Structure 1
Amino acid sequence: MLILKNIVKEYTAGNIRIKALKGINIDFRENELVSILGPPNCGKTTMLNIIGGLDIYTSGNLSINGRSTKGFSNRDWDTYRNNAIGLVFHRYNLISHETVLANAELTMKLSGARKFERRKRAIAVLKKVSICDKFNKKPNQMSYGEMQRVTIARALVNDPDILLAYEPTGTLDLETSIKIMKILKEISKDKLVIIVTNNLELAQKYSSRIIKLFDGKVIDDSNPYHVVVEKPVKNENKKKKNGKKPSMNLLTALSLSVNSLMTKKEKTFITSFIASCGIIGIAIILLLSSGATPYIMKIRFKLIVFSLILLGISLTMISTSIGISALERTKEIGVLRSIGVSRKGIFLVFNAETLVVGFVSDVIGYCFICVFGILKLHVIGWMVLVAGSTIVHLMAGLIPSIIAAKKDYFAITKRD
C-alpha cells in the first residue's frame, strides 16, 4: 500500500542545513488508523506533508500501490494529490465564499466528474459525516465541529486511498473531538487514515497503531507492519482512477472568481468604475483614427496623452485589484493546490477574475460612451473596441496572476 523507505528531508536555513527527517522507514496497511505523536519540531507534519505530496523528500523513496514516486513530475504530484490523497486540515481551510456543498464537491470538479455525479457523491459523503441540512450554508455560518466534518467530507469525496489529518481535534472541545475521532475510526475500516495529534488519550483510545517520532526518527511503533513484496495496483479500475489528471477549466475558474468577487461587491464596483476609463481611452484613440472633426484634430496630441493616461489608470487599477485579491485568497490557493490544481490552474483562476472585473468595467464604460456620444461605431468598430479592452485587461492581470500561481502553498500546514 504505502511504503516510506529511508525518507530523508533536509531544509536550508541561511547557511545551515537542517535535517527534519533522518531516514524514516514505515510500511502502512491498506486500512488502519495511525496516529503520529511526538514533541514539537520532531518531524510529524513534515512527514505528513511528504506523504500528501505537499513537500518533496530529499532522498529515499515513497511508493503507493507498488508505484515509486521518485520520478514524479509536478503534474504527477498534482494527480497524486487529487486522486490518492484526502487532506483534513488543522484550521479547516474551507473556501469561505463557497457553500458547504460546493466545498465538498470541489475535488471532483477537477477530476472531470459530471455535475449530477459529483452532486450525488458530495451529498452522500456530507450525510456520512452527519451534515444533512446545511448544504447551502457558508463555512462562517457553521460551528468548528461542523466545519471539520465538511473538511473530512471534501477529503473523502474523490474516494482517495489515504486520508491525512493534521491535528483534526486541535481546536475542538472534548465532546466534538470524540465525534471526529469516531468518524475517522469508521473511515479507517476501508481506508488508510493517518493523523498527526498531540492528544495521547484520544490516540490510544481510537487508533489501531501509534507511531512516535523524536528528532526526525521513529522511536516507537505500537503495531509495526512490514511488506515482504510490494503489491501492484489491485485492478484496472483503480489504475484508471489514479491516472485521472486534474484540470481546472475556465467555467470552474469563473465560478470561483465570481463567488469571490460577490463577497466584496462594493470594492469590485469601485475598481470596475475606475478601470472603465481604459475603454474610454481606447474609444478616444479610435475616434482619432476614424476621421474626427477639425476641432478634434486640433487637440489630437492632448487627446492622445489623455487616452494614454486613462489606459494607464485602468491598467494600474486592475493590476492592483488582482494583486490584492491574490493576497486575500492565499488560503484558497493553498487549498486548490492541495487537491491537485496545477500552477497553470491557479493562473487561470486569476485570469478569470481579471476578465470578470474587466467585463464589469467595460459595461460601465460602454454606458458612458453611449450616454455622452463620445464615439459612434459600426459592428466591426465595436468588436475592435471590445478586443482592445480585453487585451488591456489581460495585460493588467498578467503579473499578479503569475505571482499568485507561484505562491507557496505549504503555508496552509504548519511545518513541524
Structure 2
Amino acid sequence: MTWVNQDKCAIVGIGATDYYVRGKSWPRTINDMAGEAILKACEDAGISVNQIDGIAYYSGAGAGYLDKFDTATLMETLGIPYVGFSATLTSGGGGCPGAIGLATAGLMNQDCTYTVTLMALQQLPQHRLGVVFGASAPNPENSFLQPSGLVGPGHLMSVLARRHMHLYGTDPEAFKEIVQGTRDNAVDRPKAIRRKPLSDEEYWNSPMLADPLRRLDFCLETDGAVAVITTTMDRAKDCRHKPAVVHGVAHGGTREWGRAFAWMGMPDPDFASSGHKFVADRIWDQTGLTARDMDVALIYDHFSSMVLMQLEDYGFCEKGEGSDYVLSGKIRYDKATGKGLNGGVPVNTHGGNLNEAYIIGMTHIVEGVEQVRGTTVNQVADCEFALVTGGPASLPVSGLVLRRA
C-alpha cells in the first residue's frame, strides 16, 4: 500500500557544528550549539530562521539524555516569531528518522510550513551516556541491571550480540569488518573524529569492554549539534539545493522488542535482533521497494553488532546470515567505482557513529540528504534511494527512505 504522504515533503536544509570529543565543547552550551546548527540549516535551505514555524523533536526532546530542549527558549534565542507545531517522539535515538515523519505529519496537516528537527549533545565527565543506567536512581529495572554490571547501553547490547553468536554462529570478525569498513569511509571526512585507517592489530588490541564488544565496537562519545529542515514539495522547489524527497518513513515496533536492552524479556528470535523488522516491513510496504533497491544504507551504529542485526531485519540478508553477508565485503564502499563491493549496498559512507561523530543519529540523516543530492565526500554513483535507520533502542525505533528529486 503506497504511503499517503509519499513524495509530498522533503528535507531542504542541513546544518551542523564542529564535532568535539566528549567534554571538549565547553564553554559552549546546548542552546548555543543547537542555534548554530539551525542557522546553518536555514542558510543551506536559503530561508530565514523567522520562517521556521514547526519543531519535530525525538528522544523526548532530550539533548543527549542530559539536557532538555525547550521550544520557547529556542524561539527566544533565535528570534523565531511563532510556531504552529511542536511535538516529540518518545524514547531515544531510535526515533531519529521517525522525527522526519513527525515533521511530515505537521506539514501535511498544514500546522506549519518549515519544520526543524535537531539534536545537540554535550557530556560532562560525571554525566556520560555510556554509563547512563549505572548513574540512574534505583527502580525495578535498574535494580536488576546495576548489580549485573549492565551500567550502559553497550553492556546490555553485548548480551544481545552474544545471543546472536550462540544462535547463528556469528563470527566476531564480522564486527571488526563493520568497524574497519566504516572507518575507511571516515578517512576522507574533514570533520570526522577518527580518520586514521584501522589495522587488524589495533582492533584486536582494543580493550574488551563488554564481551564480545571491544572499545572500538562502541560508538564515539561526541559533543555537537545537527539540524535539518523539512518542508512541502511545493516550497522545496524554491529552496537553495535539490530537495531530498521523503519517500517513506515509519516508526514504532512490537511488544516483543519493547524496552529492548533495558528489559531482557524478549523471546527468541527477537532477542537476537535489532527490533526493526516491524518498521522495515512497513517501509517496504509503503514504498514498494526492498533492501536491494537501496543505493546506500545509513545504519544506526551505536554498536557494531547492531549494524549486523539491522541488515538482517531490513532484508539485506536473511536472518542469521548477517555475519556471512558482512564478511563477504558487501557493506564496503568502493571508492574506485562509487558502488558497493561484490554487488552489495555500501553502509555508512560518512563513517557513522563509530568513526565520524555520535550526535544520536542525526549525522546519518545529513549523509542521506547529501547522497541523494550528489554532494557528499564518498558519493555513491547515481544514488537514487538512501535508507536511514534509528536505534536499536527502546521503542519507538524508526526508518526513513530518501529519494533523489
Q: TM-score, normalised by structure 1?
A: 0.22
Instruction: Select the structure that is richer in helix.
Output: 1
Q: Which structure would you say has the larger Rg?
A: 1
- Relative CO higher for 1 or 2, CA cutoff 8 Å, sep ≥ 6? 2
Q: TM-score, normalised by structure 2?
A: 0.23
